[in-house]
Amino acid sequence: MSATVADQVFAGASAEDILRWTYGNFARVAVVASFQAESSVIIDMISKFRPDFRVLTLDTGRLPQETHDMIDRVRDRYRIAIDVLQPDPAEVGDMVASHGTNLFYRSPDLRRSCCEVRKSRPLERALRGYDAWITGLRRDQSATRADVEVMTIDSQHGGIAKVAPLAGWSKAGVWDYIRANDVPYHPLYESGYTSIGCAPCTRPTTAGEDDRAGRWWWEQNEVKECGIHYSPDGVPHPLFNGTTVQ
């Protein structure tokens, strides 16, 4: 779907309208959740009209314990199945043997390699069985995400639909929904985190910083992306090389 057509289809539509439309038009839909605030909102919205929906999440092997606790909390609250995706142990083993456990601190290329092995490849494999996936991207999360569209055709994942029902929402709107609906949220927000990823790659942010400034903060590059949504610097991942993941 082009941006123009998407704008026409979803003009004036609420996030819930977009979600209902997605489930009404695609047979196999996955919510891909990091269990940050946005995915909590999306899961809560879907639960109000659809009891049986599929949630995927990535266990990179480096997540903070609080994220694992959050996954359990959401599973129990909504009584849903959550598919926990993990990287290929052989790929992780080869990477660590060649570059060390904390390779991501050594160079941007090695950090991208780690993100690819632990995140991008497992997700690519998992999404092969779906027609659409739902993400919590918002335009005001960072300058990189300022042009996020509500729906795109995701060529990175076999041409399936990629839906961002909260694209136009503000951070305040997300938290207003959480408070109004008593939605569970990640406990690290209470410790000053504004974007939460792997434990060694995430820190709290300070007043005036971009919400994603706490991700890979040692890198000078302003593009704070792992590669699932955007390729850092717009370059191919060094281990991916533009080929199909096997």
Phi/psi at 33 (nearest 5 deg)? -115, 135
- What's the pLDDT score for residue 15? 92
Print the domain residue range for 53. Answer: 3-188
Asked if residue 215 is part of any domain, the answer here is: no
Is residue 242 within 8 Å of 231, Cβ to Cβ? no
Per residue in 175-186, pLDDT tens? 999 999 999 999
Distance from C-alpha of 245 to C-alpha of 236, rounded to nearest angstrom: 13
Question: Does 11 have pLDDT greater than 90?
Answer: no
Question: Residue type for 210, please?
Answer: D
- What's the pLDDT score for residue 1? 52
Closest by CA to 199, choosing from 89, 60, 37, is 60
- Kindly state the average pLDDT of the residues 138-152: 72
CATH code for the domain in which residue 16 is found: 3.40.50.620
Q: How many independent structural domains does the chain possess?
A: 1
Asked if residue 196 is part of any domain, the answer here is: no
Strands 29-32 and 132-134: parallel
Average pLDDT, the chain: 85
Asked if residue 58 is part of any domain, the answer here is: yes
With bands split at pLDDT 50, 70 and 90, how would you rate the model's confidence at 241? very low
Q: How many residues does the chain have?
A: 246
Asked if residue 194 is part of any domain, the answer here is: no
- What's the pLDDT score for residue 6? 61
- What's the pLDDT score for residue 229? 54
Per DSSP, the three-state class of 66 is helix
- What's the pLDDT score for residue 22? 94
Question: Which structure tokens are listed for 57?
Answer: 């999440």
Higher pLDDT, 192 or 243: 192
In the annotation, is 226 catalytic? yes
Distance from C-alpha of 121 to C-alpha of 70, rounded to nearest angstrom: 23
Phi/psi at 111 (nearest 5 deg)? -65, -45
pTM listed for this prediction: 0.86
Burial label, 159 (beta-carbon count in 10 A; 0-12, 13-18, 19+): exposed
Question: Does 159 have pLDDT greater than 60?
Answer: yes
CB proximity list for 216: less than 8 A, separation 6 or greater: 104, 111, 201, 224
Question: Does 144 have pLDDT greater than 70?
Answer: no
Is residue 176 within 8 Å of 182, Cβ to Cβ? no
Strands 160-163 and 132-134: parallel
Is residue 56 within 8 Å of 126, Cβ to Cβ? yes
Percent of the chain with pLDDT over 90: 59
Asked if residue 201 is part of any domain, the answer here is: no
Per residue in 44-58, pLDDT tens? 999 999 989 999 999
Report the DSSP beta bridge partners of residue 54: 30
- Kindly state the average pLDDT of the residues 133-141: 84
Asked if residue 207 is part of any domain, the answer here is: no
Question: Does 226 have pLDDT greater than 70?
Answer: no
- What's the pLDDT score for residue 137? 86
Asked if residue 239 is part of any domain, the answer here is: no
Catalytic residue, from 115, 198, 201, 226: name it: 226
